[in-house]
């Protein structure tokens, strides 16, 4: 039943419950999507700062990730890799997850960056953690990048 009270329509019964449920779903959707921040690497910055790159296999049980080099990207293909990386859309934030599998390691003059499907982290050359962010990326985009440069 709808009742008018001082020019305001008040909903009662099923309509009121539906309105509350709809409002709750909208708030939940905003909360979940509002936690992610879109991110793409800038190609110009990458080409100026990255001195080499490699594909690594990573495993993180608890604490900092451990990794083993699988393939160093040839200097001739480094620019191609950086272009491909700059085309991938990442979403920063989200639920923290364990990091395992292949990752891209970008080497800088005084640090390195590990880029995984679920995490992006910056480390000093001695392995000391500087900063990091949980991330989400479309798995096919990331896996294509890794597979393209894993055996060259």
Question: Which stretches of the chain score pLDDT less than 50?
Answer: 1
**% the chain with pLDDT above 70:** 76
CA angle 89, 35, 127 (to 5 degrees): 65
Cβ atoms of 42 and 86 closer than 8 Å:
yes
- For 79-104, give one letter per residue: b (16+ CB within 10 A) or e: eebbebbeebebbeeeeeeebeebbb
pLDDT of residue 50: 97
- Give CA separation, 79 vs 21, 29, 122, 123, in Å: 51, 39, 20, 22
**Are residue 11 and residue 79 in the same domain, yes or no?**
no
**Are residue 121 and residue 73 in the same domain, yes or no?**
yes
**What are the tens digits of pLDDT across the range 10-20?**
555 667 777 77
Give me 92's structure tokens. 């920063």
**Are residue 7 and residue 47 in the same domain, yes or no?**
no
pLDDT of residue 3: 52
**What are the tens digits of pLDDT across the range 136-152?**
787 788 889 999 998 76
Q: What domain range includes position 44?
A: 38-149
pLDDT of residue 96: 56
pLDDT of residue 1: 47
DSSP secondary structure of 57-69: EEE-SSSS-EEEE
**Are residue 81 and residue 135 in the same domain, yes or no?**
yes
**Are residue 22 and residue 49 in the same domain, yes or no?**
no
**Are residue 17 and residue 44 in the same domain, yes or no?**
no
pLDDT of residue 35: 63
User: Tell me, what DSSP letter sits at residue 73?
Assistant: P
Cβ atoms of 35 and 93 closer than 8 Å:
yes
**Are residue 53 and residue 123 in the same domain, yes or no?**
yes
pTM across the whole model = 0.72
Number of domains in the chain: 2
Instruction: Assign 134 to helix, strand or coil.
Output: strand
**Are residue 102 and residue 84 in the same domain, yes or no?**
yes
**Are residue 47 and residue 102 in the same domain, yes or no?**
yes
CA-CA distance, 60 to 1, in Å (whole number)?
A: 58
**Are residue 30 and residue 51 in the same domain, yes or no?**
no
Cβ atoms of 43 and 95 closer than 8 Å:
no
CA-CA distance, 18 to 29, in Å (whole number)?
A: 16
What CATH number should be reported for the domain holding residue 44? Answer: 3.30.1490
**Are residue 27 and residue 69 in the same domain, yes or no?**
no
**Are residue 52 and residue 121 in the same domain, yes or no?**
yes
């Amino acid at each position: 039943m709808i009742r008018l009270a001082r020019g305001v329509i008040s909903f009662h019964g099923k309509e009121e419950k539906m309105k509350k449920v709809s409002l709750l779903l909208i708030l939940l959707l905003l909360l979940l999507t509002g936690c992610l921040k879109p991110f793409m690497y800038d190609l110009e910055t990458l080409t100026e700062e990255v001195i080499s790159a490699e594909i690594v296999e990573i495993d993180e049980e608890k604490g900092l990730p451990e990794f083993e080099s699988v393939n160093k990207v040839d200097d001739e293909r480094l620019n191609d890799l950086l272009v491909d990386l700059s085309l991938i859309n990442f979403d920063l934030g989200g639920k923290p997850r364990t990091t395992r599998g292949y990752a891209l390691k970008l080497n800088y003059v005084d640090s390195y960056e590990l880029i995984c499907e679920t995490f992006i982290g910056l480390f000093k050359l001695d392995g000391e953690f500087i900063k990091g962010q949980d991330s989400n990326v479309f798995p096919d985009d990331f896996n294509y990048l890794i597979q393209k440069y894993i055996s060259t």
